[in-house]
Amino acid sequence: MNTIWAPEKQMIDDAALLARVSAMTYAGREPGAQPLVGMLAAISRAILADPRARLASQYIALGYWLRPSALQQLRDDLVKQTNDSGALLAPRGVALHLPPTNVDTIFVYSWALSVLAGNANVVRLAEKLTADTEWLVSLIACVVAEHGEDERQLFCSYPYGDAFEQRISRQCDLRMIWGGDAKVETVSRTAIRPDGLSIGFPDRKSLSLIGVDSYARADEKARDELATQLYNDTYWFDQMGCGSPRLVVWIGEKSDTLSDDLYARLGKAVAAKKIAVETGVAIGKMALANDLLAEGVADRLRFFSNELVVVDIVDPVVGLERTHGGGFLGEYTVADIADIANFTTRKVQTLGHFGFSSEELKRLARAISGRGGYRIVPIGQALQFDVTWDGMELFVHMTRRITIWETSWKQAALLQTPVS
């Protein structure tokens, strides 16, 4: 059975759900229309006003990302795309969002951008949601209903893999698939509209890059600040986000003293936040560390605590494939920032950095170009969502352009002539 938030959660049968989606085909609106901005701003206010959001930084981050000034900036970015060409920006149509289960705010980012782009949206949520996700979906569905947008914005859940999924998909002009490689592959087998666009956002792994010399020169305060930022990148979403760093790469001459110093500070940040992993997770991390040692992928284990396990990686390509989450970091050292390219595969997403000049960062970008690695951001901002994601301008894919070629002068003359 399917569920729908209308705005309270209720059951809905296949025919009724399909009818709702079919009715959305021509329901798109003008991209960047002010009422859409207003609705998203109302969601931001509702999130930030709810004491529940205070308990988790990812909800605060989401509320902040949707604040009115930020939305206005997004809207400006969106509409200026067609400023020079004279084309008219149009919504793509019906967008289907398939968010991941591991990062429970992604569905809002994916959906909100598509709302701004003027699309009618179907967000397909997991059949079982955590209490926090339930809260977030209800909150959004209520604001959507208050703004009279509930015909166009549909939050629902239906089973994957049967004929119904095919019929829904057939109605969609855009499909955004967030999740593991296997999910993207499976879902991609189901066709959407023949002229539709399906984009996969599969598994990615991320790194944190730290300049050895810069760290050596940093004072206590700067080092603690870095540890706090690295904590945020690593421990939000249990280190299971695409942008969560899995490997800390020191650039320069290897120094155990500096590395121990960093993890001592990171350990302190972890302790201060009072997070604790379950025993099963701790044993899982121990087991993976032992596997990597046994296979020669790593050659040293530092078990700082159940929450912070660091292995020295010998083979960074394999090290980036064999990750755990919940506070499991690989460590690697290279001499030069451009050496990062040697193990930057298509799977690499975010490169967090500390202690590099903009020239060095550009050199890094040129080195990884054509390989992988789509975001180079300061450590602490690895999980910040952006309109350019996995190397793609999302707004471009979420809209169409109606090109307008003006008539030639002869026809223009004809047009002015009365018919009779």
Partner 1 sequence: MIEALRLAIEAEPYSLAQPVHQANLLVGLNELTAHHYDTCAAYRRIVNGAWGGRTRFERVEDVPYLPVSLFKTQKLQSVPDEEVRVTLTSSGTTGQAVSRIFLNKDASAMQQRALANSLMHVLGKQRLPMLVIDTDAVFKDPRMMSARGAGVLGIMRYGRNHAFALNRDLKPNFDAVRAFLKEVGGQPFFMFGFTFMVWINFYEQFRNEGLDLSKGVLIHSGGWKKMIECSVDNVSFRKALKDAFGLVRIHNFYGMVEQIGTIFLEGAGGVMFPPNFADVIIRDPITWRPAPLGQPGVVQVLSLLPHSYPGHSLLTEDLGVIEAMEQGHRSVDGWMGKGLKILGRVPKAELRGCSDVISAVA
Q: Which residues bind partner 1 (CB under 8 A)?
A: 55-56, 58, 100-104, 130-133, 235-241, 273, 275-284, 286-287, 289-291, 293-296, 298-301, 303, 306, 311-312, 324-326
CA distance 10 to 51: 25
CA distance 243 to 82: 31
- Find out whether 175 and 70 touch, Cβ atoms under 8 Å: no
- For the bound state, the minimum distance from the C-beta of residue 240 to partner 1, rounded and expressed in Å, comes to 5
165/238 with CB nearer partner 1: 238
Q: Which residues pair with 366 in a beta bridge?
A: none
- For the bound state, the minimum distance from the C-beta of residue 310 to partner 1, rounded and expressed in Å, comes to 12
**At 268, is the secondary structure helix, strand, or coil?**
helix
- Find out whether 198 and 347 touch, Cβ atoms under 8 Å: no
324/353 with CB nearer partner 1: 324
326/372 with CB nearer partner 1: 326
- For the bound state, the minimum distance from the C-beta of residue 182 to partner 1, rounded and expressed in Å, comes to 15
Of 283, 351, 346, 293, which is closest to residue 322 (Cα–Cα)?
Answer: 293
273/363 with CB nearer partner 1: 273
266/289 with CB nearer partner 1: 289
- For the bound state, the minimum distance from the C-beta of residue 278 to partner 1, rounded and expressed in Å, comes to 4
- For the bound state, the minimum distance from the C-beta of residue 235 to partner 1, rounded and expressed in Å, comes to 7
Q: Token digits for 237? A: 């979403």
Q: Token digits for 98? A: 């398939």
- For the bound state, the minimum distance from the C-beta of residue 102 to partner 1, rounded and expressed in Å, comes to 4
- For the bound state, the minimum distance from the C-beta of residue 100 to partner 1, rounded and expressed in Å, comes to 8
200/284 with CB nearer partner 1: 284
41/98 with CB nearer partner 1: 98
CA distance 312 to 320: 12
Q: Token digits for 34? A: 């002010």
What is the C-alpha end-to-end distance of the chain, expressed in Å? Answer: 62
Q: Token digits for 206? A: 């991320």
Q: Which residues contact 372 (CB under 8 A, 6 or more apart)?
A: 344, 345, 346, 347, 348, 349
147/268 with CB nearer partner 1: 268
At residue 217, what is the residue type? R
Nearest-10 crossing angle of helices 34-49, 57-65: 150
- For the bound state, the minimum distance from the C-beta of residue 237 to partner 1, rounded and expressed in Å, comes to 4
Hey, what's the torsion of the CAs at 178, 15, 130, 179, to 10 degrees? -10
